[in-house]
A and B are shown apart, each in its own frame.
Chain A
Amino acid sequence: MNFHFPVTKNRVSFAAFPALFLVLVVTHSSLAQQRVSRHYPAGKNVRIELKNLSGTITVETWARDEIRITATMEAPAVHFNPRQTDSGLVVDIVGDNRDRRDVGDVNFKIQVPARSSVDLETRSGQISVSNIQGDLVRAHVWTSGDITLSGVNAARVFASNTTGNIFFDGEFASGGTYEFKSGQGTITLRLPANCGFRLVATAPAEKISMGPFSSGALKTLGQGRRITGDVGDGRASVTVTNYQGDIKFMRR
């Protein structure tokens, strides 16, 4: 059976409205966003400091000895003035926009050499860091936002938020310091089987799961609210605190 719709001028006009509306919406949203990309030369052990107001921060590594920072700014766009220092790059959105009452979110994508150190902070929004192997990885969300650190092999790692999950997938260096803290969310640490560390894990909600890293060397204190002790050689120092959520250990 064939259906045949006679095409009239009126029908063409009606069909064009949704398409026109879509084009206007896309155009408007693209005009409302401003995208800025900058490149900076960098040594292999560069340090990036970023203080954002609101928005996502994504840090990735690449094989070039340079930093590429791409900021996608929503209206009203923030003042964006990265500053090069002796040790690397500083981006202080908070300081640069201190007197401005209402600014839009900024989503950052940063590409750096693998041996870089990153110090990231935002009032709200997600932070994602992958494959960093420098000295320091610090990710702090003042309020809400997930933190994902994957493929990280740094000597010092600090991740904290008030609301949101924290996921760490990486290795603990011998003698390194690792701190994870959340107010409400799940903290998950995914580690190699041969990982060695000295642990102090505290979760008042009594939800600490050591998974494959359970052993007799670990002590449970305070009716299960705290677990302390050595896993493996115990050479890295690991502190995990979660006020209301879970703490989970997983094997890679």
Chain B
Amino acid sequence: MNCEKYQNLLSDFIDGSLAQNDHHSVAAHLSACAVCSEARDDLGAIAAVCLESRGQYEAVPNERALWLRISNIIEAELPVASRHAVPANAGWWFRLMNRSWRLSFPQLAAAAVVVMIVVSTFTIMGLREFRFAGGAGYQASGFAPTIGSGNLKDRYRQQEQVIAYWNDRVELNKARWNPQMRETFDKNMKVIDTAVNDSMRQLTQNPHDEVSEEILNAALNDKVELLKEFSAL
């Protein structure tokens, strides 16, 4: 056993209520341990005073009333102390953060409802903005023109730069192709260009036409892929 466990047994040791074996064990430890022996002496002195003074003190007439008064004093002093903790020249943020907030349940519920309404409103507005800004375009892979948020031709021009790069590479090699391959390539590129132009025309008339937007997206991707494939020839 360590000292802590012996000290837990000291009260029973002084009262003489320990079992014989435990009593001998504690006594042997106390004879060897100065710390525990000192603790035993202190505890013994307290017990002796208590025994001597038994029945000599007067009971409080109304204990409950006394505790209520003490409690009221403590509660009354707490805010005063915190208020005194805020310096007179403190800023608004310091005062706000050091302020004590006490809200009733209805006030708390009302605050929660207001927060929910504000968050929902901003979320809906954000989603609507995303959709009008061409959110549907992101469903398709690759180039996603944001038709509603800017000029269609400006957006298309960005993709045209990519197309122009690959087109230059194709043109470099094209002279070496046989006539049949050149004819096949040109014929098929024309099909894709027609799809691009038709979609552009539709989108000029109706900028929010999702079908045309997706077709334009797909056709431009097809065009880039076809150019890439044939640029290696």
Residues of chain B whose beta carbon lies under 8 Å from any beta carbon of chain A: 176, 178, 181, 184-185, 187-188, 191-192, 194-195, 198-199, 202, 209-212, 214-215, 218-219, 222, 226, 229-230, 232
Contacts and interface: CB of A to CB of B under 8 A. Distances in A.
A222 B209 CA distance: 8
A143 B188 contact: yes
A222 B226 contact: no
A241 B219 CA distance: 11
A225 interface: yes
Given A142-B229, A222-B210, A204 B199 contact: yes
Nearest to B212: A204
Contacts of B226: 142-143, 162
Interface string A77-89: 0000000000000
Contacts of B210: 221-222
13 contacts: A142-B229, A162-B192, A162-B226, A163-B187, A181-B218, A183-B192, A183-B222, A202-B215, A204-B195, A204-B198, A225-B211, A243-B191, A243-B219
Nearest to B226: A142
B184 A124 contact: yes
Nearest to A205: B198
A107 B100 CA distance: 86
A174 B226 CA distance: 33
B65 to A, nearest CB: 77
A28 interface: no
A221 B232 CA distance: 40
Contacts of A163: 187-188, 191
Contact of A144 (B184, B199, B222, B229): B184
A207 interface: no
Interface of B is mostly: helix
B26 to A, nearest CB: 77
Contacts of B178: 102
Given A98-B232, A143-B184, A162-B226, A183 B191 contact: yes
Contacts of A244: 191, 194-195
A162 B226 CA distance: 10
A204 B188 contact: no
A144 B190 CA distance: 12
Given A143-B185, A163-B187, A183-B222, 5 more contacts: A143-B187, A144-B184, A181-B218, A204-B202, A204-B215
Contact of B188 (A98, A183, A226): A183
Contacts of A98: 232
A162 B229 contact: no
A190 interface: no
Q: Which 4 A-B pairs have the closest CB atoms?
A: A222-B211, A243-B195, A143-B188, A162-B188
A54 B212 CA distance: 32
A184 interface: yes
Contacts of B194: 243-244
A123 interface: yes
A221 B195 CA distance: 19
Given A202-B214, A225-B211, A241-B218, A123 B191 contact: no
